[in-house]
Chain A
Amino acid sequence: MKRYSVFAVAREALRYHSGWERAWASPEPKKKYDVIIIGAGGHGLATAYYLGKNFGITNVAIIEKGWLGGGNTGRNTTIIRSNYLQDPSAAIYEKARSLYETMSQDLNYNVMYSPRGVMMLAQTQHEIRGYQRTAHANALQGVKTEFIGPERVKELVPIINISGPRYPVLGALWQDRAGTARHDAVAWGYARACSDMGMDVIQKCEVTAIRREGGKVVGVTTTRGDIDCNKLGVVVAGHTGVVADMAGFRLPIESVALQALVSEPIKPCMDVVVMANTVHGYMSQSDKGEMVIGGGADGYNNYTQRGSFHHIEETVRALVETFPMISRLKMLRQWGGIVDMTGDRSPIISKTPVENVFINCGWGTGGFKAIPGSGWAMAELIAKGEPGPLAEEFSMWRFREGKFIDESVAAGVAH
C-alpha cells in the first residue's frame, strides 16, 4: 500500500492524479478463512483490523451484503463522546474516544476527527441531577467532563436561546475532548488497512445461512456460495435478529428506525455539538456548513430504513425553540437507519449459544462513537475465545442475570 502524505499529494498533483491506487482490493471469496466477520460497518471492520493488528490474525474475510459503511455507519450524525454513567460504558467509550484521537495517524487515513466538544443540555431539574451524577461518576472513572451553568452554555454557543418558554437551558454536561469524525472515512480507512494486511473485504455478498455441526460453526452460506471458517463474528446492527435467527438463537433486541436530516449550508455559526435529550434533538455544523440534525428513534419495529415524518417534526420543533435562528432554514436531505435496541440501551459483545460464533450488536442509536473500542474488545473476544476486561460486562446473558448496564436515563436514548 502506498502511504498517503503531503508528498504523495504533491507528486500526484504534478502528474494529474494518475498514480493513485485503489484503496482496497475486491477479491473473490476464498474457500475458507480463520475468521469471517459478517457486516462491513465500522464495528465489523474495526474488529477485523484489531484482529490483525493486536493478534496477528489476518486470514480474515469481512462479508457485506451491501456496500462498505452503507448501514448505520454511513447514516449517523457522528457524535463522539465518552461521558456515560456506568463504569463498563465509560471504559469502552473512553477507550474508543482516545483511539479516535490518533486514528488518522494509525490508519494513515484522514478520518477528520474534530474534538470540538459535546454539550448535553439540562432542561429540567431531573436532568440537572442526572448530569451532575454523571459528572461525579466520570470523575471517578477518569473521564474528563464537567457540569456547566447556563452562562457558560451561552458563551460556548451564542446562537442558543437559554430562556425558552417550555424548556429553558438550566446547565449542561460538557466534554471538551468529545466531538465528531467523518463517518465514511472511518469505514474506508479501516477497510484500506484490513486489505493491506491481506484480509478480504467482500462487498455485495449476503450471508443467508450459518452452517453448524455439533453445536459449532463451520461456515456460512452466501449469495456468492459457501465459505468455511473456524470462527464467526456477527456484527450486523439492525439485522442482528435476522442473522441470530440463522444461528438458531434469539436476542433481547428490537430493530427500529432512527432518522437524521441536514440543512442547506450556512456560514459557521456553531463550533460545538449540542444535544438536547429531553426534547430529543441534537445538532452540529458540518465542515460544509450544513446543520446536521438528529432526533429520537421511531417507536415500532421496522427494517425499511425509513421513518415517520412526525418524528422529524418533533425534533425540529424542539430545536427551533432552542435555536430560534434555524426557524427559516431549509432542509436538504433526510434519511433513516435501522438501529438495534436492547432493553438497557447498552450493547452486547458476547459469546453465543453456538460455539465459535461471537456477536457484537445492540449499539442502537449511539455506536458510531464506540467503533474503535468495540472493535478492540471484539477482536480480543474472537482471538481468545473469552471476553477481556472491556467486553466482559456486555454479555448477552446479563439480562437473565439482572446485571443491566442501564444507560437509558431519562430520555430513553443514548446517542
Chain B
Amino acid sequence: MLTLKCPYCGVHADETELHPGSEAHLKRYGPGSSDDEFEGYLFMRENPKGVHFERWRHVYGCGKWFLAARDTNTLEVFGTYSAQTTEPPQEIKEAITAKRPGWSWREFQ
C-alpha cells in the first residue's frame, strides 16, 4: 500500500486516507490565452513512466492538498511537499537526482 507523509500535519498516511489529484505544477492559463495554451493546461498530460509530480489530498486527515514526487514505474516515493509552490523544493530535486540522474520535467530538472 502506498504511504505518503502529509507535509502539513506530519502524518504518514496510507492510501486509504488520501485522495489522488493527478498531475502537479500545471501552468494555469486564463482569458486571452491561445487555444494551444488552454488545451495544454486543461487536457494534455505528461503521463511519464518514471518520475512524476502529482497532487494528493489528505481527505481523512487535515483535509489539505499537498504535492508528491513519485516514480510511476517502481512506485517509489521521493518525497512530499507543500502545494504552495511552483517547483519542487531543492531537497526533493536532490532526492530524485540521487536515484534518477538526468531526470527532467517540462520546465525544470
Contacts and interface: CB of A to CB of B under 8 A. Distances in A.
Given A251-B44, A309-B1, A399-B43, A241 B49 contact: yes
B8 to A, nearest CB: 19
B100 to A, nearest CB: 14
Interface size class of B (residues with CB under 8 A): 20 to 34
Given A250-B44, A400-B35, A308 B52 contact: no
B19 interface: yes
B73 to A, nearest CB: 5
B49 A303 contact: yes
A302 B45 contact: no
B87 interface: no
Contact of B39 (A240, A241, A255, A399): A399
Contacts, number: 68
Interface in B32-77: 35-36, 38-40, 42-49, 52, 54, 70, 72-75
B2 A300 contact: yes
Interface in A233-286: 239-242, 245, 250-255
B16 interface: yes
B73 A303 contact: yes
A54 B46 CA distance: 36
A158 interface: no
Chain B binding surface, main DSSP class: mixed
Contacts of A56: none
B109 interface: no
A242 B19 CA distance: 25
B20 interface: yes
A301 interface: yes
A241 B74 contact: no
Given A252-B45, A301-B52, A302-B72, A310 B16 contact: yes
B85 to A, nearest CB: 20
A319 B49 CA distance: 33
A251 B39 CA distance: 10
Nearest to B2: A308
A86 B48 CA distance: 31
Contact of B47 (A254, A299, A304): A254
Nearest to B38: A400
B94 interface: no
Contact of A299 (B19, B23, B48, B70): B19
> What are the 8 tightest A-B residue pairs by CB atom distance, in nearest-first order?
A241-B47, A252-B43, A299-B20, A400-B39, A300-B20, A399-B43, A250-B44, A303-B49
Interface of B: 1-2, 15-16, 19-20, 22-23, 35-36, 38-40, 42-49, 52, 54, 70, 72-75
Interface of A: 239-242, 245, 250-255, 299-304, 306, 308-310, 343, 399-400
